[in-house]
A and B are shown apart, each in its own frame.
Chain A
Amino acid sequence: TQLLEQSPQFLSIQEGENLTVYCNSSSVFSSLQWYRQEPGEGPVLLVTVVTGGEVKKLKRLTFQFGDARKDSSLHITAAQPGDTGLYLCAGETGNQFYFGTGTSLTVIP
């Protein structure tokens, strides 16, 4: 059983569509991070959220931390082929760091 469950696991969409990726847990996290990883490369940090209810925007990406700090979402507006990659949430709870199960996104031109 994974502490951080992401959904969907795989997502294939057309360029220009919107999408949301979810990261859920039954545990409370003091912070959550989102990474994007392109094939053959290491994960690149996109954002860190620390306050319940916090919303952060990074161009077409919107990140939200749940009020209870048990879940997070990533919304991408008007997806582009350059958004293709593995999206990972990760966070700290109980003095341990956990990665989510991952969402593999493919944006078709």
Chain B
Amino acid sequence: DTEVTQTPKHLVMGMTNKKSLKCEQHMGHRAMYWYKQKAKKPPELMFVYSYEKLSINESVPSRFSPECPNSSLLNLHLHALQPEDSALYLCASSQGSGRYVDTQYFGPGTRLTVL
């Protein structure tokens, strides 16, 4: 099983809403990632969790709050977003042997629209 799943597939929210994105993998990977991607641009790294601990935060605004409840799950909590935060949010996982360089497997993404 090389699948990373993400829910929901699509999300529309207002600027005052609170919502969460979810990501799950059952490959035994110990590193999980959140990326933000605009149309026809490469993914931009937001957060990296290694062994359930936040190891990288790429200066992401606090309105994005990641959470890793266990080694298979990764959440991204959203609050007070701006329209410019509308994008495809991708989750990825890798074996995570302590180095941030393993092959990453991506989920299908959540298409987020902020009104």
Contact = CB atoms under 8 A, between A and B. Distances in A.
Interface of A: 30-31, 33, 35, 40-45, 48, 86, 88, 92, 95-97, 99-102, 104
Contacts of B107: 42
| Interface size band for B | 20 to 34
Contacts of B101: 30-31, 92, 95-97
Contact of B106 (A31, A43, A100): A43
A88 B42 contact: yes
A95 B43 contact: no
Given A40-B88, A40-B109, A42-B4, A99 B104 contact: no
Interface of B: 4, 6, 40-43, 45, 88, 90, 92, 99-101, 103-109, 111
Contact of B109 (A41, A96, A104): A41
7 contacts: A40-B88, A40-B109, A41-B109, A42-B108, A43-B43, A97-B104, A102-B40
Contacts of A92: 101
Given A42-B106, A48-B103, A104 B42 contact: no
B103 A86 contact: no
A33 B43 CA distance: 14
A49 to B, nearest CB: 12
B95 to A, nearest CB: 13
B42 A99 contact: yes
Given A40-B88, A88-B42, A95 B99 contact: yes
Nearest to B111: A40
B1 to A, nearest CB: 15
B40 A45 contact: no
Contact of A45 (B103, B108, B109): B103
Contacts of B108: 40-42
